[in-house]
Amino acid sequence: MAGSLVLGALQVAGTLLLAPLLFGVTKRVKARLQYRRGPSLLQPYRDLAKWWRKESVESDAASPLTAAAPAIVLASVVVATFLVPMVGIVPPLDGWGDLLVVIGLLALGRFVLALSALDAGSAFGGMGSSREVAIATLVEPALLLALAGAALAARSTDLGTIAGVGQAAGLSWYTPALLLSAAAFAIVAVAETGHEPVENPDTHLELTMIHEGMLLEASGPRLAILMYAAELKLVLVAGLFGAAFLPVGLARTASPVEILVALGATLAKVAGAAVALGILDATLAKMRILALPGLLTTASLLGAVGLAVRLWLPS
């Protein structure tokens, strides 16, 4: 019990503190590949502090939902993050929910953010939220199918159990069915975190915005909270991929050696995800919005084929 508390505390502290740094890594990788110097790795922390000190300005049409939405969005991401094992096999909120709850929390945050963008009465906010919801109708089934492949392999929807079974299985965990599910999740991860080719996270053109379009009416501490939630979501998605498809290095006890190995493995996974997203942002162009359904449907098909292979051709 004490070992689980130690590992859980390390995950809580690490994810909350390092989320903005990984956001900075993505931006720095993109800048370097474009032959630019790029911002400092600590710039996301400075931006959060700057926004937190500024005054919030709300639309005259806004209801109390606008003020409450940032807290709800952040809470949904934080709780989902602590349901995912990243440092130890047992997640900090073990027993509070499984992968279905994580998917539901992601959907809750997206729904509340879309409502708050509509609540401000802005045309661009409404356009961004309509695009976000349209993409979500394709992302969520693909995410569920991808994670269902890992759950079926472990015969459980509990993420700690999935990670434990995958770690114990070793190389035999990586069957063709699981690799198909992992490929589906990789496509979903790009859409969930808002990177190329699904979305340009650095765009300043309102007509091309999706997630950023929903933040145009946010300012001050509300903007800081929403941006921090987006940064923490990168850690969540990377940790979710690691728990389901790459459960290497997770600690089973609180011994110093296992803790060091687990921390190193976790940092490698989330940093690898941040670098990969930076490479995608620098090398790919944003797809036309009418072409996105084809890409996201491909993720659903990969997940469905992975499940079919698992059911009909068991390893």
Per-residue pLDDT reduced to its tens digit, 146-172: 999 999 999 999 999 999 999 999 999
Q: Tell me the per-residue pLDDT of 54-109, one tens digit each, with 9 for 90 and over.
A: 998 888 888 898 999 999 999 999 999 999 999 999 999 998 999 999 999 999 99
User: Which residues, other chains included, contact 220 with Cβ-Cβ below 8 Å and sequence gap of 6+?
Assistant: 51, 52, 54, 55, 56, 57
- Comparing 203 with 252, which gets the higher pLDDT? 252
Q: Tell me the per-residue pLDDT of 172-210, one tens digit each, with 9 for 90 and over.
A: 999 999 999 999 999 999 999 988 888 887 776 666 677
Contact 56, 69 (CB under 8 A): no
Contact 243, 145 (CB under 8 A): no
Which residues does residue 251 pair with via DSSP β-bridges, in sequence order? 88
What average pLDDT is seen over the chain? 91
Q: In this model, does residue 238 exceed pLDDT 80?
A: yes
Q: What is the mean pLDDT of residues 224-249?
A: 95
Contacts for 36-44 with beta carbons within 8 Å, 24 or more apart?
A: 44/20, 44/227, 44/231
Q: For residue 273, give both structure tokens.
A: 């995800």
Q: Tell me the per-residue pLDDT of 121-141, one tens digit each, with 9 for 90 and over.
A: 888 888 888 888 989 999 999
Give start and end residues of each alpha helix (H) in 155-255.
159-169, 176-193, 220-245
Give start and end residues of each alpha helix (H) in 58-98.
64-81
Q: In this model, does residue 315 exceed pLDDT 60?
A: no
Domain spans of the chain, in order of start: 2-312
Distance from chain centroid for Cα 168? 26
Q: How far apart are CA 176 and CA 311, in angstroms?
A: 12
